[in-house]
């Protein structure tokens, strides 16, 4: 199918931008976690933030690979569980932030 709008390409770049935003948020989270001197609780929260970041990267990577597969009617739509997983990573990062700030 002719696609002058380069929709899969733009969607891929949107995922890239989002992983970049996620990286910035995760770096700030790590900085906050380790700022008040390393304690075991803070290191644990920092590790959780790293795991969340990796989860987010995994979702994005999977989706980007799916976007590369072009059938007759374009790549398949985003699966609801992947959208939910990406959003829950952001929520969990914010919860870690609330724990660290208090």
Contact between 45 and another protein by CB under 8 A: the answer reads no
The residue within the footprint of another protein, chosen from 21, 51, 58, 65 (CB under 8 A), is 21
Contact between 34 and another protein by CB under 8 A: the answer reads no
**DSSP states of 20-81:** HHHHHHHHHHHHHHHHT---HHHHHHHHHHHHHHHHHHHHHHHHHHHHH---TT-SPPPPHH
Q: How many CB atoms lie within 10 A of CB 85?
A: 15
Tell me the C-alpha distance between 28 and 53, whole Å. 12
Taking a C-beta distance cutoff of 8 angstroms, is the pair 94, 52 a contact?
Answer: no
Nearer to another protein, 40 or 72 (CB): 72
Contact between 7 and another protein by CB under 8 A: the answer reads yes
The structure tokens listed for 7 are 């929709």
Nearer to another protein, 44 or 76 (CB): 76
The residue within the footprint of another protein, chosen from 2, 37, 40, 80 (CB under 8 A), is 80
Which parts of this chain interact with another protein (CB under 8 A)? 3, 5, 7-8, 10-11, 14-15, 17-18, 21-22, 24-25, 28-29, 31-32, 35, 73-81, 83-84, 86-88, 90-91, 93-95, 97-98, 100-102
């Amino acid at each position: 199918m002719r696609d002058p709008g380069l929709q899969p390409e733009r969607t891929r770049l949107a995922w890239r931008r989002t992983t970049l935003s996620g990286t910035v948020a995760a770096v700030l989270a790590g900085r906050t976690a380790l700022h008040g001197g390393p304690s075991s609780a803070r290191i644990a929260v920092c590790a959780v933030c790293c795991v969340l970041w990796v989860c987010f990267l995994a979702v994005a990577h999977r989706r980007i690979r799916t976007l590369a597969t072009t059938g007759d009617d374009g790549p398949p739509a985003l699966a609801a569980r992947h959208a939910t997983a990406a959003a829950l990573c952001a929520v969990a990062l914010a919860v870690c932030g609330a724990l660290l700030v208090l």
